[in-house]
Amino acid sequence: MTITRQRRLLRPVGVAVAGLLIALLTAMPGPAAADDAEIEFWRSVKEATVPEELEAYLEAYPDGKFAPLARIRLKSLEAPDADDAGEEAAAPADADEGSPPDPDKAADDTPPEPKAQASSTGDKPEKKKIEITLGVNPSDATKGRLGVLILNSVPGISKALDLDVPGAAFVTAAMPGSPAEKAGIWAGHLIASVEGTPIPDGSTLVDVVGRYTPGAIIELEIIELAPTIEETKALLRRKADSEPAAAFALSNMLKDYPKISGDDPTARALSRKAAELGYLPAMFALGASYDDGVGGYTRDDEEAAEWYRKAADKGHARAAYRLGRMYGDGEGVAKDEGKAVHWYRKAADRGNLPAMFDLGVAYGNGKGVSKDSKKAMEWFRKGADLGSPDSMSNVGYMYEQGMGVSKDYGEAAEWYRKAVALGHPTAKNNLALLYAKGQGVPKDPDHAAELFLEAYLAGGTYAKQNLEEKSSAIESETRRALQRKLKEEGVYTGKIDGRFGSGTKRALIAYASKKRPTTPTASSQPPPADDFGLGDLGTLD
């Protein structure tokens, strides 16, 4: 069995069964419904300020409906002060995700008027609580949308502005017409918590908001530095000369969002100044601007590699990862798979999840290192244990294929389920195939059909291949189940015969058009999450 690498893809030959396609804004089925006892337990600990209470919930309900939120909150309670971390700040990304709402928050058909209550007054930064009804994610109709562009983290900002929080997600723009804008959130606000869960950085915000569905009502605690955007800019401008964190934050507020290109020259000057002063987030962001040709910068791979190297040498994990990718692809530097692995390992040692994934791919393919399926599995497992759905899906694939471990369809199904719970479309496709064949799980054509359609709706490459090009490889019972579901949706009028002709394929396209929201125009879209490194607990590039 040959593994091929294509933008972090792990792909087998034959039926499109496994593989890794990064898709941070994908469909996801909700976890199993919580019983009354679990709901009461969660209500009693969800605002805990000590780890032991959340650990007690996770011990009682390790796979409970609120287990993902409990782990995020536990991680935030155990995390070090963000100002001391000196690490992750990404270029802006949109915090648009979705998953089950808290039982204390029930959405109805009429969104409430946004409410904000100030918790302090005076000249100092002011804390407010705002209720927001999430909109529909334009990339996935099953997920809620907040609609903000954020900085992952701004180390030093709390100290520079005399804030009493260790970290927060810094809002650089609220998208026009978004739920955030309607609720009164604007550039310069810092989001400190969601439903009582502390938000130490932008990645946590993406992850937490990503667990609510459209229409869910969530409460945000924000920090307002000044009464207006212009006053906030003035405050940061006064601090910019002496505080690189303030200069970097201001530079991102001045960018011409949502168009991204054509930034204010002052923004570029501020960001470069912070980078030249050795401020790690600015160094990484400058490298990313050259890498992606955004922010008023012309794409320049050599400059990107140089700034990534400077940041990586100072310990910036995502810069090390991106530098590794440049060596692997031969962009800005001479192609050298050995050096790619070197930088992946540097990044992985600092907790970078996609670096762990790419190390697994490198060992699985024998690229830059000797081929070693066991080591590939070790790296996938490390990433999976830290919450990477990409690695979870590949752990499942390794068990399914018996690569580096004994073949075990039951274990494969279990790992696919974990990735599915985090919205991974390839894992949905792979789990669908197991249900279709009854491998490691009871044979269930109807559930297989549901998973196939969810993966297809989420834009999963392998589900699209299986349904549109390789349907003959899918069991006939599952093909008939798919046709029945398409007929129930009113998009298929043909026979339920399991034959995927032009009528079934047209029905699939009609189903996707019916279920997916209209794609926003280019001028209103946020930057792609993959390009700016947000997601997967703050470490995805």
pLDDT in tens, 500-535: 999 999 999 999 998 875 433 332 333 323 222 222
Helix H or strand E encompassing 449? helix 445-457
pLDDT in tens, 308-322: 999 999 999 999 999
Q: How far is CA 305 from CA 111, 327, 330, 349, 465, in A?
A: 47, 9, 11, 20, 35
pLDDT at 75: 63
Pull the structure tokens for residue 350: 């600092």
Buried b or exposed e, range 459-474, using 16+ CB within 10 angstroms? bbbbbbbbbeebbeeb
Q: How far is CA 462 from CA 182, 376, 488, 501, in A?
A: 38, 22, 24, 19
Residue whose entry in the numeric block shows the structure tokens 């935030």:
76
* 184 lies in some domain: yes
Structural domain total, the chain: 1
pLDDT higher than threshold 70 for residue 351: yes
Give the separation between CA 459 and CA 455, rounded to whole angstroms: 6
Domain span including residue 59: 30-228
**Who wins on pLDDT, 524 or 151?**
151
- Average pLDDT (54-59) is 67
* 362 lies in some domain: no
* 302 lies in some domain: no
Pull the structure tokens for residue 54: 């959340």
Q: Are strands 190-194 and 197-198 parallel, antiparallel or unpaired?
A: antiparallel
pLDDT band at 100 (very low <50, low <70, confident <90, very high): very low
Longest C-alpha distance within the chain, in Å?
A: 72
What mean pLDDT value characterizes the chain?
Answer: 78
- Average pLDDT (39-46) is 63
- Cβ(192)–Cβ(165) below 8 Å: yes
Residue 408: CB atoms within 10 A of its CB come to: 16
Phi, psi of 133 (to 5 degrees): -95, 115
* 434 lies in some domain: no
- Average pLDDT (471-484) is 95
Length of the chain: 541
**Who wins on pLDDT, 209 or 410?**
410
- Average pLDDT (78-94) is 36
Phi, psi of 169 (to 5 degrees): -90, 120
* 94 lies in some domain: yes
> The CATH number of the domain where 44 resides is what?
2.30.42.10
pLDDT at 165: 75
Give the separation between CA 138 and CA 115, rounded to whole angstroms: 25
Give the separation between CA 455 and CA 436, rounded to whole angstroms: 15
What is the DSSP annotation of 96-164?
Answer: ----PPPTT----SSPPPP-EEES--SSS-EEEEEEEE-EEETTEEEEEE--EEEES--TTHHHHHT-S
pLDDT at 73: 64
What angle (nearest 5°) sits at the alpha carbon of residue 371, between those of residues 367 and 373? 120
Of 93-97, 310-314, 458-462, the range with the lowest mean pLDDT is 93-97
* 310 lies in some domain: no
What is the DSSP annotation of 467-483?
Answer: HHT-GGGS-HHHHHHHH
pLDDT band at 256 (very low <50, low <70, confident <90, very high): low
- Average pLDDT (241-258) is 82
pLDDT higher than threshold 70 for residue 152: yes
Pull the structure tokens for residue 284: 């990484």
- Average pLDDT (443-463) is 94
**Who wins on pLDDT, 143 or 394?**
394
pLDDT higher than threshold 70 for residue 215: yes
* 292 lies in some domain: no
What is the DSSP annotation of 194-231?
Answer: ETTEE--SHHHHHHHHTTS-TT-EEEEEEEESSSSHHH
- Cβ(492)–Cβ(504) below 8 Å: yes
* 407 lies in some domain: no
Among 516, 532, 404, which residue's Cα sits nearest to residue 22? 532
